[in-house]
Amino acid sequence: MSLPRTPSFRLDGKRALVVGASSGIGEGCAVALAEAGAHVTLAARREDPLNALARTMRAAGFDADTLLLDVADIADTDAKVSAHGPFDVLVNSAGLARHGPALNTTPEDYDAVTDLNVKGAYFLTRAVARGLAEAQKPGSLINISSQMAHVGGIDRAVYCATKHAVEGFTKSMAIEWGKKGIRVNTICPTFIRTPLTEQTFSNPERVAWIEEKIKLGRIGEVTDIMGAVAYLASDASALVTGTSLLIDGGWTAD
């Protein structure tokens, strides 16, 4: 009798591009992929944090380099992804939020959030997929979305709109590129404790609301995302595409 074997979670020999890698979730994703054996290109707009992270990762024995990248600049992103690719794995953690009541939304805020969260994410994903298609290689493309892609949220109309849009183009791209072996998925976290979210967590009323909504009763940590990104990047998820992995502690279970 032959027993089935678990597909490998290893990423040895793979090249991964992690955008928004300079802090928070992006940093955690970069480390997770490197731990699994990938060569990781750390990309973001801020040079100093990228270089510091790359040095720390290399000192820990990981394989990492850096790339200055602003995904809102479509032409520059296309050129740099083409020049440095093809990448077997994409993790896009770049994002922007300008929360406030919908009645107070300005066109400037709307454009800033959608330009990065939707337009930037769309064309970044396309750029990496194009490189894979031209090289006739399979790959795994992952956009960090949000639980707010599946529900509404207080003062988050624009943000929710952008994340719902990411879920839509993820499904369409997965259908279009499936025959090429290119998988496209999202990870949808709940509130995760990072430097960018500390302002939210400094408000006791908002923390109480968050903890009441998260059925597991605790705020998320960056480490809660790391296993998920390693799974989606690897052959362990070889039949997973066009979907979202919710890491929300049960928020959306209602």
Catalytic residue among 110, 122, 159, 231: 159
Identify which of 190, 178, 19 has the alpha carbon closest to the alpha carbon of residue 91: 19
Three-class SS of residue 134?
A: helix
Backbone angles phi and psi of 161, in degrees to 5: -60, -45
Element housing 203 (H / E): none
Residues 149 and 160: beta-carbon distance below 8 Å: yes
For 161, the token pair is 């709109």
User: For 161, what's the count of Cα atoms within 13 Å in the CB-facing half-sphere?
Assistant: 16
Whether 110 is catalytic is no
Catalytic positions, please? 159
